[in-house]
Chains A and B, each alone.
Chain A
Amino acid sequence: MKYFAGIDIGSTAIKITIIDENKEMVGHRISGSGSMFYNYAHQTLNDLLKDLNISKEEVLYTVATGYGRKLFKEADENISEITANAIGAVAAAKEFGAIKTIINIGGQDSKAISLDEMGNVVNFAMNDRCAAGTGKFLDACAMNLEIGVEELGERHFNSKGTPLSINSTCAVFAESEIIGLLGNSHSVEDIVSGVHYSIAKRIVKLVKRVGIKEGIYFDGGPALNGGLVNAIENELGKKIFIPTYPQVTTSFGAAILGVDSYNYQSVGV
């Protein structure tokens, strides 16, 4: 069998997707980036192949992407996470229809990508050098509230009052605001929905920079947080599509590109 690997080395997690020559997903795995990107990436790939019962030789082409892509020297090719994200999103959203706008929230950045009818990237915008409105911001908030990140969604929907504004978009200053709100015995639920709306507002500003086009796709780990999805949909006033595996869209895209590159090279030979 012929297999292709996409490896997305992000700031917070390493995501690997294996696909077959028909570009169908065979399996994926996510692990923390930790302190040794390179070693963890190899280990994660080995573990995944073992689980799927695939030998290294069967993987014909590997594409690396993400911040740490250049560190994975064994890759046959490396591409930017923006291109990979776009390719992956178009493929993952087949059932949803054409997508024109991608919102991606990663561990340390957030992006808005605008696509044309063919699925090509026409424009994109990224957050400034700052963790505001990223996964790290959510992590920090959850930690201050002494709840798990996975609980944020449920808490959001249990909020009864007005969402409490978090004025500081800086993750560090927001922390002291949250502590202040807790100190005045405001409910965790209202703080959580406030945090989600503060991220959502930033994200919507980012999306506006590239233009909001119908067919909106949201990926990255925070897309698993239903509360944040709710906040972004309300701020946009539009429905958005969340893929089944929002964390691996980009590695999926990298693997798809691997199939195309492999076929192109074979023809060339």
Chain B
Amino acid sequence: MHEHKIETPNEKQNRHKAMESVNVLNTLKEGFKTPPKAMDYFYNLFEDVYCNQKALHKDKVKVGTMCIQIPSEIIYALDGVPIRLCNGFYTDDEIGSDFLPQKACPLVKASVGHLSSKNLTDKPDMIYSPTTCDQKTKAGTLIASFGYEVVDVDFPRTKESEISREFFRRSIREFSADLSQKMGKKLSRKNLKASISKIGYAQSLYHQISEFRKNKIVPILGNDIFLVTNAFFFDKIDNWIEATEKLVEELEQRVKDEVNAAGKISPRIVYTGSPPIFPNYKIPLIIEDSDGIIVADETCSSNRMFNDRVAVDEWFVNDMIDSLADKYLKACTCPVFSKNDDRIRRIVELVRSHNADGVIYQAFAGCTVYELEQRSVLEAMEREGISILYIESDYSPSQHGQLSTRVEAFIESLKIKNRNKK
């Protein structure tokens, strides 16, 4: 019999995560039509980071963010690297279950579990935690108890009023001052303007890709796009931009060459709800494996990061900070807000502009705000005459069979509708 050492808890966690990662990456590479060559950069990136534990930002100050509402522009301007800590691993979700109620959101559990293990390749030097949903808010305090430096960033639950606007502007000014002090560097017109334009450019690349996805022949899978936008959470921004530029070029060519990532009659899907974060592409993979094609999404791991640009009136530091605060509050379509008609408008707009056949709405079991908003979104879609499927799921690899049956049936119904139209 072989003599072997037993894995340490960290080694075991790494192996579990590598297994989850390889599983999804192999499916993307092998389970569908040949992906664009430019995707190799992203496949390799995820493999390096999650299978080989490669650190990307060794010599940099890493600023962890618990949610989408912390302006990356400010972090980059101060020479920090933003690392979004929202986590998609079932391995970490299971670790996090020791700290949070069983019914808590898997994303929050996974993020907490990951941080509790201290097993991070790019360990954040500090963490900013916007007080968005209840679970993320409480998670911030819990994470601080593990020994991380966690700073709450006050976030309002309404966005229409002038009070909330001013509230969040003050919050972001405070955040800028705090980070500036920690980094020993001041925000200047020059450095802030430069980082706003850089992120703006990254956003423009996303918009170019969106244009290609409006095409009748869709040149790339929605799952691949999720991987690209997900890389923006942690990648070196210049590398990301370069790789995405290449992808844009290749997709342009694919559109010309009529290379279809989908089938001939694949229904076009807009994806909304709790964010698919690598490697939890469970529902998106089921959709595209069932002959649907995701042409657009309304989630905070993808579209919501790139959709809206910053509108600056005057290029002074204070004005830029306020404009950033406005963008991260006003344009946000997160269901934490009391009223969220913006989100419904965004979904309808995406369905119309991308000529979609239906919407699939996923809520993580335990992600209360998405569960709560399900009703109003479903009603609105019905009014608009848009087919929608609502699914609740979590990070566990089980129930795959039941979920795929429901998704398949929905996609088949869309196909039949399309046929009857003709």
Interface segment out of the listed B6-14, B258-266, B333-341 = B6-14
Q: Is the CB of B19 within 8 A of A167?
A: no
Within 8 A of A (CB), among B1-54: 1-2, 4, 6-9, 11-12, 15, 18-23, 26, 30, 51
CA distance A238 to B397 in the complex (A): 25
Chain A residues in 8 Å Cβ range of B4: 157, 230, 233
Within 8 A of B (CB), among A4-43: none
Chain A residues in 8 Å Cβ range of B118: none
Chain B residues in 8 Å Cβ range of A164: 19, 22-23, 26
Q: Is the CB of A162 within 8 A of B2?
A: no
Binding site for A on B (CB under 8 A): 1-2, 4, 6-9, 11-12, 15, 18-23, 26, 30, 51, 397-398, 400-401
CB distance from B388 to the nearest CB of A (A): 27
With beta carbons under 8 angstroms apart, the residue of B2, B22, B30, B400 that contacts A167 is B400
CA distance A111 to B364 in the complex (A): 32
For the complex of A and B, 10 pairs with smallest distance between CB atoms? A165-B23, A162-B18, A234-B7, A184-B30, A162-B22, A226-B1, A165-B19, A233-B6, A226-B2, A157-B2
Closest chain B residue to A186 by CB distance? B26
Q: Is the CB of B19 within 8 A of A197?
A: yes
Chain A residues in 8 Å Cβ range of B22: 161-162, 164-165
Q: Is chain A's binding surface mostly helix, strand, loop or mixed? A: loop
CB distance from A159 to the nearest CB of B (A): 11
Chain A residues in 8 Å Cβ range of B2: 153, 157, 226, 230
Number of A-B contacts defined by CB within 8 Å? 55
Chain B residues in 8 Å Cβ range of A161: 22
Bitwise, A116-140 to B at CB < 8 A (1) or not (0) is: 0000000000000000000000000
CB distance from B356 to the nearest CB of A (A): 29
Closest chain A residue to B17 by CB distance? A162
CB distance from B394 to the nearest CB of A (A): 15
Chain A residues in 8 Å Cβ range of B20: 165
Closest chain A residue to B11 by CB distance? A234
Q: Is the CB of A162 within 8 A of B6?
A: no
A268 within 8 A of B: no
Chain B residues in 8 Å Cβ range of A194: 19
Q: Is chain B's binding surface mostly helix, strand, loop or mixed? A: helix
Chain A residues in 8 Å Cβ range of B398: 169
CB distance from A142 to the nearest CB of B (A): 18
Chain A residues in 8 Å Cβ range of B7: 234, 237
Chain B residues in 8 Å Cβ range of A77: none
Q: Select the residue from A164, A184, A234 with max chain B CB neighbours within 10 A.
A: A234
Within 8 A of B (CB), among A240-269: 242
CB distance from A133 to the nearest CB of B (A): 13
CA distance A194 to B397 in the complex (A): 15
Chain B residues in 8 Å Cβ range of A186: 26
CA distance A233 to B12 in the complex (A): 11
12 more CB-based (< 8 A) A-B contacts, given A157-B4, A226-B2, A229-B1: A157-B2, A162-B21, A164-B19, A165-B19, A165-B20, A165-B397, A167-B23, A168-B400, A235-B12, A237-B7, A237-B9, A237-B12
CB distance from A164 to the nearest CB of B (A): 7
A56 within 8 A of B: no
CB distance from B400 to the nearest CB of A (A): 7
CA distance A223 to B23 in the complex (A): 27
Closest chain A residue to B21 by CB distance? A162
Q: Is the CB of B15 within 8 A of A162?
A: yes
Chain B residues in 8 Å Cβ range of A234: 6-7, 11-12, 15
Q: Select the residue from A163, A186, A229 with max chain B CB neighbours within 10 A.
A: A163
Closest chain A residue to B6 by CB distance? A233
Chain B residues in 8 Å Cβ range of A235: 12
CB distance from B94 to the nearest CB of A (A): 10
Q: Select the residue from B9, B19, B398 with max chain A CB neighbours within 10 A.
A: B19
Q: List 23 A-B contacts (CB under 8 A).
A: A153-B1, A161-B22, A162-B15, A162-B51, A164-B19, A164-B23, A165-B20, A165-B23, A167-B397, A168-B400, A169-B398, A184-B26, A194-B19, A229-B1, A230-B2, A230-B4, A233-B4, A233-B6, A234-B11, A234-B12, A235-B12, A237-B9, A239-B6
Closest chain B residue to A164 by CB distance? B22
CA distance A241 to B410 in the complex (A): 51
CB distance from B396 to the nearest CB of A (A): 11
CB distance from A261 to the nearest CB of B (A): 35
Chain A residues in 8 Å Cβ range of B8: 237
CA distance A157 to B1 in the complex (A): 11
Q: Is the CB of B1 within 8 A of A237?
A: no
CA distance A173 to B401 in the complex (A): 10
Q: Is the CB of A238 within 8 A of B6?
A: yes
CA distance A29 to B6 in the complex (A): 33
CA distance A239 to B5 in the complex (A): 9
Chain B residues in 8 Å Cβ range of A237: 6-9, 12
CB distance from A186 to the nearest CB of B (A): 8
CA distance A184 to B25 in the complex (A): 13
